[in-house]
Amino acid sequence: MWNMLRKHALRATLLFLVSCLTVCSPFTATAQPPKRGAIDVRLRLAQSYERTGDFEAALKLYQELYKQDSTNYLVGDALRRTYLQLKRYDDAIALLEKIIRFSPNDVNMIAQLGAMHYLKSDEQKAAETWERAIALSPKQPSTYTLVASSVTQSRLFDRAIAIYHRGRAACSDPTLFTVDIAYLYSITLKYPEATKEYMSYVRQNPAQLGYVQSRIGMYTGKQEGLAAATKIIEEGVQSESNNLPFQYLLAWVYMEGKKFDRAYDVYRSIDENTKAGGHEIYNFAQRALHERAYTVSSRAFQDIVARYSSFDRLAETKFGYAQSLEASDDESDTLKLFGSTNPFPPKERTEADPRPLYTGAIAAYDRVVTEFPKTELAARALFRTGIIKQEKFFDLDGARSTFEALTKRYPMFAQIYMEGTLRLGDVYLAIGALDKAQAEYQAVAGHGLLTNPLQEQAALHLAEILYFQANFKDALEKLKSLAGNAISDATNDALSLQIFIQDNLKQDVAVLKEFAKGDLLRRQRKLPEALTIFESIVQNYPKSDLMDEALINIGDLLTHMTRYPDAIGTYERLLKDFPESISLDRTLMKLANVYERGLRDSPKAIATYQKLLEQYPNSIYVSEARKRIRELRGDNI
């Protein structure tokens, strides 16, 4: 409403101004041609009407102005535009034909006439008119640009492509209009044709490789686009094997499709052809490592080492190789239901690679340490080796010597030194050298405020040692300060141990001491010894509150020892005999895991997970149990 009122008000004002102008110049009206100034004012007035959307008023003025001066291009074009706005296509066509009569060789105007016929839904006339425009200068590339542009405006993309192709043939230049044609093919979803054109453009302008990648990248996000681009580029490389930009394009499109193996073959060839001395392979290897394509990244790093002995980033290359090997062997247990180590068998080696897990990674890290002993990478390599020995091989002596070497040789790299010291403490603890462990932890924790996660972790370990030593009072004191820090990662573990000690201190301290002993043995991975302790607790203290925890530990130890039926029996005993235990949901979860991953008995695993859902609907494990059931059922979720 407001718009309409405003429009009327503006119109009235403008008409008044024009009237004033007319009244003020009574003698110029008819006898003489209008003065330039008067035309300008009327033109501006018409343009104002047009801008406000009052096309009828604008048209009236434009028509008058055109009548007075039909050679004025500005007026003629404005009149055509206004006819178009008012959908008066016949008038627009008549006007254009009149203009064309004055300049019969104006390709642009004839092309526009064609578009106008098309708007009028007279496709045949439109086609004839566009042909007429082409016929004017059939050897001029600009003719085809103008006509195809007019056709494109009419959104007749296929016809525009055909016109460009005709132009190429007529001008005997197959490189003409490449980008235009490629773009039209891409928006009409003809990805193979678009890719062919873009490849042709790269052939003409190798420096435009990045631009072409970005254009092709507009459709490689879709499966059909990616497949089409890959196929065409492969064919291109096959027919022009020496075309380097094509090879880059192929490697890039393989990476887009996560076909790292194939991409690597191409990068190797590029590296050779460009005499890059391994840099192309290195960049590829880093990206593949980042993308978790470990097999191919390790191959690439290894190839650099084999081919380019004087490569300037050899340390990073060898470290990258070791990282790739370690990561490909790695298997994680995210729930950590059975502690920090996964009790179930790791993935099996293939026949092609029968090496025991992680041996390749350790050897690769060793080479970094030996060959680049002064670098931080050597320190990191030692650190990773120590972790593998400690966590994967349970080779505590090996881990100790590795971490000792790290802390002795690399105090200058503060972060890795601290991490190594903490780990060394863990290893000392595991081999029973509690004093040494304490010293290492203390070195990390310091004596002041705990300001970083490593210090907090060290402080937690110090409290654990006190617990293992049956010094419960001091352990509680230490845990108290840790448990108060709500934002620390160590808080949960600290709280859990604090509550455990507090609850059981009220009972029989002797049992707690035994339990702590068993816990230490378990930490040290002395599984049979730990099992004996926990079994003795079960036997000797049947009334103890720690019975359920002891049974869980027995079940866990048996699981680690792959004595699955015994583990199941223990967990089931706990479920049956200790219905008041707060660990029943955890026990059911463990039981289900043993069925699923140990015995690979899906029906029993499902039934156990369902039991968990049924009996403990508020357990923290329900979400995982649901997920596991649905995966085992094969639900499509």
Partner 1 sequence: MIADSKRKTGDIVRYVRDLALIVLGSLLFSLCSALYAQKILIPMDLKQADHLKAYGIAYWALTKNIEVDWLLNYRGGSFMLDGVALLATECRVRGVTFEEISGAEAAQIYSEVGAENTNMDAVRLEKAPKIAVYVPPNFLPWDDAVTLAMEYAEIPYDKVWDDEVMQDKLLKYDWIHLHHEDFTGQYGKFYATYGTAPWYIEQQVMYEKKAKELGFKKVSELKRVVAHKIKEYIASGGFMFAMCSATDTYDIALASENTDICDVMYDGDPPDPGAQKKLDFSQCLAFENFTLEMNPLRYEYSDIDIPPSDMVATLDPETDYFTLFEFSAKYDPVPTMLTQNHANIIRGFLGQTTNFKKSLIKKTMTILAEKEGTEEVRYIHGNLGRGTFTFYGGHDPEDYQHQVGDPPTDLKLHKNSPGYRLILNNILFPAAKKKQQKT
- Answer yes or no whether residue 275 interacts with partner 1 by CB under 8 A: no
- The neighbour count for residue 257, using CB atoms within 10 Å, is 16
Residue of 164, 167, 228, 169 whose CA lies nearest to 199: 228
Which of 51, 85, 137, 525 is close enough to bind partner 1 by CB under 8 A? 85
Cβ at position 626, least distance to partner 1 in Å? 6
**Nearest-approach distance from CB 632 to partner 1, in angstroms:** 11
- Chosen residue from 219, 246, 294, 428 binding partner 1 by CB under 8 A: 219
Among 63, 136, 157, 525, binds partner 1 (CB under 8 A): 157
Stretches 43-51, 271-279, 342-350, 618-626: which one binds partner 1 (CB under 8 A)? Answer: 618-626
The HSE-up count of residue 284 (CA atoms within 13 Å, CB side) is 35
Q: Is residue 56 close enough to count as binding partner 1 by CB under 8 A?
A: yes
Rounded to the nearest angstrom, the gap between the alpha carbon of residue 369 and the centroid of all alpha carbons in its chain is: 33
Sign of CA dihedral 596, 598, 600, 603: negative
Count the site residues for partner 1 by CB under 8 A: 30
**Window of 79-87, 248-256, 414-422, 475-483 that interacts with partner 1 by CB under 8 A:** 79-87
Question: Given candidates 53, 346, 356, 565, which one binds partner 1 under the rule CB under 8 A?
Answer: 53
81-88 long-range contacts, Cβ below 8 Å, gap at least 24?
81/50, 82/50, 82/55, 82/58, 83/59, 84/116, 84/119, 85/50, 85/55, 86/55, 86/56, 86/59
Helical packing angle, 157-170 and 141-153, nearest 10°: 180
Where helices occur in 154-259 by DSSP H, the ranges are 157-170, 178-187, 191-204, 209-216, 223-239, 244-256
Q: Which residues contact 245 (CB under 8 A, 6 or more apart)?
A: 202, 203, 206, 209
Instruction: Mark 172-211 with x for binding to partner 1 (rule: CB under 8 A) and - for no binding.
Output: ---------------xxx----------------------
Q: Which is nearer to partner 1, 85 or 471 (CB)?
A: 85
How long is the chain?
637
Cα 475 from Cα 496, distance rounded (Å): 12
617 is a contact residue toward partner 1 (CB under 8 A) = yes
Query: Residue 178 is encoded by which pair of tokens?
Result: 């490449």
Q: What is the smallest separation between the CB atom of 119 and partner 1, expressed in angstroms? A: 5
Residue 8 lies near partner 1 (rule: CB under 8 A): no
CB closer to partner 1 out of 11 and 436 = 11
At its nearest, how many Å lie between partner 1 and the CB of residue 87?
A: 7
Q: Looking at 119, 127, 179, 599, which residue binds partner 1 (CB under 8 A)?
A: 119
- The structure tokens listed for 322 are 């070791």
Cα 96–101–103 angle (5° rounding)?
95
Please report whether residue 350 would count as binding partner 1 according to CB under 8 A: no
- Interface with partner 1 includes 121 (CB under 8 A)? yes
Residues of this chain that interact with partner 1 (CB under 8 A) are 1, 53, 55-56, 84-87, 119, 121, 153-155, 157, 187-189, 218-219, 222, 610, 613-614, 617, 622-623, 626, 629-630, 637
